[in-house]
Amino acid sequence: MRTLLLLLIALPVLAMAHNKSDVVTMYNGDRITGEIQGMSNGDLKINPRYSPAINLDLQHIAKIESDYNYEILTADNQRLYGNISGTEKNGELQLTSIDTAQVVPLLGITEIRPVEESFADRLQYTLGANFTFEPDLLTYKLEGTLTYANRKGQYAARANYLQSTTRTYDEANNKLVEGDASIAGLVSLENEVWTDLKGQRFRSLSAQYDYNDQLNNFGRVSLGAGIGRYWLDNPGVRFATSIGLQGVSEKTLVGESGGKFTPFCLDTGPDSTCDNESLEKDTLYSAEAFVTGSLIMYSLTDMDMDLNVLGSLYPSLTENDRIRAHLEASLSWEVISDLFIKLSWFSDFDSGDRNSDATVPSTTRRIDYNILLGLDWRP
């Protein structure tokens, strides 16, 4: 996870922008010259010559002109490639490729991506920090995402680390005392390959490592494959689902806890407390089906607000009556360029025992959830 986050931080140094000669004309007559870096969630991002990158609401844009090539996704699920220019009529975009030329309404566009030549220019990333601070609970979460897109599909990487510490008040010493921390983490990689010309259907390959000691998950590796479809891809809303199968290898705690287990620990000396031998863990192998749905909603007004919901269901194919579920939702507001305040919910559910010797849910949990407030940086 540390390597991935370092890569995310280094991306601004790696990226090379094209010449800042693109022109965006607003309905009020303003002309902004710079580098168009793309459009998503109703905002067109342009980096002027004289200032940092800014976001422009699509509804206020009259014309866009550029000599560079772009990939454009439309509300009727067309995936188009070519350079763009304005027409005599405001609110329209002329897209010209080697094979054809056509006019596209600006408000009928859901996404614009530059078709860059270098690998670094095709990368998009976000970094986030979330936290909650209560008298008896301290929780923080760090996360990052990385996306690489081309004409055939996209690759996505994601990493997060969450730690919660309970605190009790010591009346004798008049202070708060911190208990043992509970930790959850995730690293995932996913590849979507379009299987039709419109990019409406796709097949996917995924690999994931996750950890949650509250649910007796001391390290789970999942490898899966599936198929999916974008059912809605309109200005303001995007909804997709996927189904598939995956193989799972996971470590669970066997018997009663007799000590403390510290994950992600690098101390391997003779006095290390990274892995207490009194915690006996068992590795189990299983197969699961999965059903996943994702919903993105965003405003096309001056109030930049995004809603993201991701839900997954994992019924086991090899363990009777076991089902897992994951749900996360976030609501974001852009406070300044590229910086968002985010309110988020994360929850995981596991219905059953791992085997007859594993710690039963009565001594762990069936559900674990967190409500967090934080910041996202989306350059």
Q: Which of 20, 107, 15 is nearest to 65 (CA)?
A: 20
Q: Which two tokens stand for residue 22?
A: 């693109």
Whether 206 and 318 map to the same domain: the answer is yes
76 in any annotated domain:
yes
| Domain span including residue 76 | 17-115
Whether 81 and 62 map to the same domain: the answer is yes
Spatial separation of the C-alpha atoms in residues 266 and 352, rounded to whole Å = 32
Q: Which residue has the tokens 């699961």?
A: 288
338 in any annotated domain:
yes
11 in any annotated domain:
no
Dihedral over Cα of 229, 232, 237, 239: its sign: negative
228 in any annotated domain:
yes
121-168 pLDDT, tens digit per residue, is: 567 788 899 888 666 778 889 999 998 877 677 889 999 999 888 767
Give the end of a domain, one of 99, 115, 131: 115
Give the end of a domain, one of 115, 135, 164: 115
Burial class from Cβ neighbours inside 10 Å (0-12, 13-18, 19+) for residue 293 reads: middle
Whether 125 and 81 map to the same domain: the answer is no
Question: CB 69: neighbour CB atoms within 10 A?
Answer: 17
Whether 251 and 180 map to the same domain: the answer is yes
Whether 286 and 254 map to the same domain: the answer is yes
Q: Which of 94, 16, 130 is nearest to 373 (CA)?
A: 130
Whether 157 and 210 map to the same domain: the answer is yes
230 in any annotated domain:
yes
Task: Measure the CA angle with vertex 15, ends 10 and 16; round to 5°.
Answer: 150
pLDDT at residue 177 is higher than 50: yes
Q: Which two tokens stand for residue 223?
A: 């490898």
6 in any annotated domain:
no
Which range, 92-106, 118-132, 274-288, is most confident? 92-106
Single-letter residue type at 152: K
Whether 90 and 218 map to the same domain: the answer is no
Burial class from Cβ neighbours inside 10 Å (0-12, 13-18, 19+) for residue 347 reads: middle
Number of domains within the chain: 2
26-68 pLDDT, tens digit per residue, is: 998 889 998 888 888 788 888 887 777 888 888 889 999 887 8
Cβ–Cβ under 8 Å, residues 378 and 350:
no
Whether 108 and 153 map to the same domain: the answer is no
Spatial separation of the C-alpha atoms in residues 213 and 344, rounded to whole Å = 21
Q: The domain spanning residue 318 has which CATH number?
A: 2.40.160.40
Whether 180 and 75 map to the same domain: the answer is no
Q: The domain spanning residue 42 has which CATH number?
A: 2.30.30
Whether 228 and 108 map to the same domain: the answer is no
Whether 97 and 236 map to the same domain: the answer is no
Give the end of a domain, one of 115, 139, 169: 115
Whether 229 and 362 map to the same domain: the answer is yes
282-319 pLDDT, tens digit per residue, is: 678 899 999 999 999 887 665 578 899 999 999 999 98
